[in-house]
Structure 1
Amino acid sequence: MITLKRFEENTQGNDWVVGDLHGCFGLLKALLREINFDEAADRLFSVGDLVDRGPDSAGVLNLLALPWLYSVRGNHEQIALDTDLTDNDSKAYYQSIGGSWFLRAPKLAQDAYRKAFADLPLAIEVATLLGPIGIVHADCPLPTWGQFARTLEDEDTAIQLQMMAQWSRDRIMRGNERGIPDLRALIVGHTPRAMPEALGNVIDIDTGAVYGNALTAIRLWDLETISVGA
Structure 2
Amino acid sequence: MHYVIGDVHGEFDTLMALVAKLSKNAKLIFVGDLIDRGEKSKEVIEFVRQNNHLCVLGNHEELMLTYGESFAKRYPNSTNISFLHSWYNNGGIATLKSYNLLKQSDTLECVENQDGFEAFLRDLEWLKTLPLYIELPCKINNLPVVVSHASCGDVWHHHDNPSAIETFKEFALWERTPPKKTSPIFNIFGHTPTPFGAKIEEHYANIDTGCYVKKEGYGMLSAFCVETQEVVSVQRRE
How does the TM-score come out when normalised to structure 2? 0.76
Q: Percent identity?
A: 28
The aligned counterpart of 1:138 is 150
Kindly provide the amino acid, as one letter, of the partner of residue 177 in structure 2. Answer: D
CA distance in 1, matches of 2:229, 2:182: 15
The aligned counterpart of 1:178 is 181
CA distance in 2, matches of 1:125, 1:54: 29
Q: How many angstroms does 1:125 deviate by? A: 0.7
* Partner SS state of residue 116, structure 1: helix
The aligned counterpart of 1:189 is 190
CA distance in 2, matches of 1:132, 1:35: 24
Match 2:176 to one of 147, 150, 169: 169
Given that 2:56 and 2:134 are in contact with CA atoms closer than 8 Å, whether structure 1 keeps it comes out as yes
Matches within 5 A, 1:8-27: 14-27=1-14
* Higher mean C-alpha displacement, 104-113 vs 194-203: 104-113
Q: How many angstroms does 1:224 deviate by? A: 1.2
Matched, 1:79 2:89: no
CA 1:220–1:141: 2 relative to 1, 3 Å? closer
Q: How many angstroms does 1:47 deviate by? A: 0.7
Gap regions ≥5 residues in structure 2? 75-79, 102-115
Given that 1:206 and 1:216 are in contact with CA atoms closer than 8 Å, whether structure 2 keeps it comes out as yes
CA distance in 1, matches of 2:220, 2:92: 22
CA distance in 2, matches of 1:49, 1:165: 12
Matched, 1:117 2:110: no
CA 1:60–1:34: 2 relative to 1, 3 Å? closer
Q: Which is bigger in relative contact order (C-alpha 8 A, separation at least 6)?
A: 1
* Partner SS state of residue 210, structure 1: coil
CA distance in 1, matches of 2:119, 2:21: 32
CA 1:200–1:89: 2 relative to 1, 3 Å? farther
Match 2:211 to one of 209, 212, 217: 209
* Partner SS state of residue 113, structure 1: helix
CA distance in 2, matches of 1:165, 1:118: 16
Match 1:63 to one of 37, 42, 47: 47
CA distance in 2, matches of 1:31, 1:37: 12
Q: How many angstroms does 1:63 deviate by? A: 1.6
CA 1:198–1:103: 2 relative to 1, 3 Å? same
Match 1:96 to one of 82, 89, 98: 89
CA offsets per residue over residues 10-60 of structure 1, 9 Å max, x none?
Answer: xxxx0010000001121111111212232xxx3100110000001210113
Match 2:36 to one of 45, 52, 61: 52
* Partner SS state of residue 138, structure 1: coil
CA distance in 2, matches of 1:102, 1:178: 37
* Partner SS state of residue 233, structure 2: strand
Aligned length: 203
CA offsets per residue over residues 79-114 of structure 1, 9 Å max, x none?
Answer: 001113358443122112111144453543332121
CA distance in 2, matches of 1:161, 1:128: 22
CA 1:27–1:102: 2 relative to 1, 3 Å? closer
Given that 2:36 and 2:94 are in contact with CA atoms closer than 8 Å, whether structure 1 keeps it comes out as yes
CA distance in 1, matches of 2:158, 2:12: 31
Given that 1:50 and 1:60 are in contact with CA atoms closer than 8 Å, whether structure 2 keeps it comes out as yes
Q: How many angstroms does 1:129 deviate by? A: 6.0
Structure number with bigger Rg: 2
Matched, 1:126 2:136: yes
Q: How many angstroms does 1:160 deviate by? A: 3.9
CA 1:215–1:205: 2 relative to 1, 3 Å? same
